[in-house]
Amino acid sequence: MNMRQAVISGSRVKTSNDLMGFVFVCMLFMMLAPARYAWADTKPARLFEREDTIEVLITAPWRELVRDSRFQGSYPATIEFTDESGKTGTLELTVERRGITRQRVCKIPPIKIRFDKKAVKGTTFRGQKSLKMVTHCESSPRYEQYYILEFLAYRIYNLLTDFSFKVRPLTATYLQAGSDSDEKKGSSFFKKKTSEGPAFAFLIEEDKDVANRHDLKKLNVSKIRTTQLDSYEAALYALFQFLIANVDWAATVGPEPGKCCHNTKLIGPEPTAPDDILYAIPYDFDSSGLVDSEYALPPDGVPIRSVTQRYYRGYCTHNRSLEGARQKMLANEQAIYRLFEEEARLDSKNRGKALGFLERGFAVLKDDARFEKEIVDRCR
């Protein structure tokens, strides 16, 4: 081998060694990279980061919960679920009755579920401690349609503002604790069988999570002044309630002394100074005209005979922001209609009824004379 060949051969060896060294370093980096990166790739989305439906099976002593309305404590339960990647999981939790009107009228009352915060780590429920769950109330397609409509009311408000509760739809099966797994296909356990469902249900975001999105805190106060509410958000809140014909709310004081508010949560800075701006977040829309449930009645003191009658209950303090809120709603009119047009769980009868009802509400917002008469002049 001459000198030139030796140099070339040595260069090739060096290049080969360099390449092998580079590959080794890359492999070593991949092996030693922090585990959190690999874990993050497989970690499912957080519960309210997605809008698709989660299938769940909740096993609990449902017969006891349903029959004993006087007991408002918790029952042990488990939830089996499948996340968006197709992975299944099982968590221990507790369930308890909640609500006021629906506790009286529903065989399957709305519930609150409480998690062990450590147990939910790494799952789609991570970060959750307790959640409100809206059930289908009765074993009747009519009732299931009510709560699909209520779910869509939440989605309307999500389109209008981020100062709103996110919701996540479920297909839920309720299994009586102690039942044999082969009995899961039984009919209603309320008729002495073992399971109920699958049926529509949805989960509602916690108020602390809404507050966290805005670097605020959930508030527990006795009452507030209308001037403390953010003017634009308060005007939007009131126009939204007008659109869906909901008068079952209070944003400054509650029905019980010392506890604000009614079907509304407040968020804001904490501690709260007199001049701090607060935000009202509405929930519970089953008594609205949009849902038009058979048990819904107008509250005392509101001059309407039916919940399908619209009656504006916003505050005059916020009239200066009404036009901006009005334009926000008009800009989202078609997107709101699409929510109902694309909701496959809504039957054609209720879809047509809801769309017609919303169109009549938007007709008021579009007409300057009617807007002045039915909204601006009716403020409190």
Residue at 373 is within a domain:
yes
Are 185 and 225 found together in one domain? no
Domain for residue 309, yes or no? yes
**pTM recorded for the entire structure:** 0.86
Smallest CA-to-CA distance from 160 within 100, 77, 236, 246 is with: 236
**Residues 68 and 161 placed together within one structural domain of the fold:** yes
- Comparing 1-5, 126-130, 148-152, 337-341, the range with the smallest average pLDDT is 1-5
Is 348 part of a structural domain of the chain? yes
- pLDDT at res. 13: 45
Specify the pLDDT at position 34: 40
Average pLDDT for 335-340:
98
- Whether 39 has a pLDDT exceeding 60, the answer reads no
Between 24-38, 241-255, 331-345, the lowest mean confidence (pLDDT) is in 24-38
Report the side by side order of strands in the sheet with 217-218.
217-218, 264-268, 279-282
Structural domain count, the chain: 2
When pLDDT is cut at 50, 70 and 90, the band that residue 176 belongs to is very high
For the four alpha carbons of 139, 145, 148 and 154, in that order, the dihedral sign comes to negative
Residue 313: inside a domain: yes
Q: Are residues 126 and 264 in the same domain?
A: no
Tell me what percent of the residues of the chain surpass a pLDDT of 90: 73
Q: How confident is the model at residue 331 (pLDDT cuts 50, 70, 90)?
A: very high
Q: Are residues 220 and 282 in the same domain?
A: yes
Assess whether 237 and 160 both reside in one domain.
no
The enclosing H or E element of 65 equals helix 62-67
Q: Are 182 and 57 within one domain? A: yes
Task: State whether 171 and 293 are in the same domain.
Answer: no
pLDDT tens digit string along 202-227? 999 999 999 999 999 999 999 999 99
Q: Locate the DSSP E strands across the chain.
A: 54-60, 75-82, 88-97, 111-115, 130-134, 167-176, 195-204, 217-218, 264-268, 279-282
Same domain, 189 and 270: no
Residue 72 falls within a domain, yes or no?
A: yes
Average model confidence (pLDDT) across the chain: 88
The DSSP 8-state label assigned to residue 311 in this structure reads: -
- Is residue 137 domain-shared with residue 251, that is, in the same domain? no
Pick from 21-35, 38-52, 164-178, 325-339: least confident: 21-35
- Among the candidates 205, 233, 253, a domain finishes at 205
Interior angle at CA 249, CA 246 and CA 250, nearest 5: 145
- Tens-digit pLDDT profile for residues 60-99: 999 999 888 888 899 999 999 998 888 899 999 999 999 8
Residue 24 domain-assigned (yes or no): no
Omega of the bond leading into 198 within 30 degrees of 0 (cis) = yes
Residue 19, domain member (yes or no) = no
Are 341 and 317 found together in one domain?
yes
Q: Which residue has the higher pLDDT, 28 or 67?
A: 67
Q: What is the mean pLDDT of residues 347-354?
A: 98
Residues contacting 376, CB < 8 A, separation 6+: 319, 322
Q: Which of 160, 185, 205 is the last residue of a domain?
A: 205
Instruction: Identify whether residues 228 and 164 lie together within a single domain.
Output: no
**Positive/negative CA dihedral, 173, 351, 290, 307:** negative
Domain boundary among 205, 228, 247: 205
* CB-CB contact of 312 with 306 (8 Å): no
75 in the same domain as 146 = yes
d(CA 316, CA 322): 10
pLDDT band at residue 35 under the 50/70/90 scheme = very low
More confidently predicted of 338 and 82:
338
- Residue 22, domain member (yes or no): no
Domain that holds residue 115: 47-205
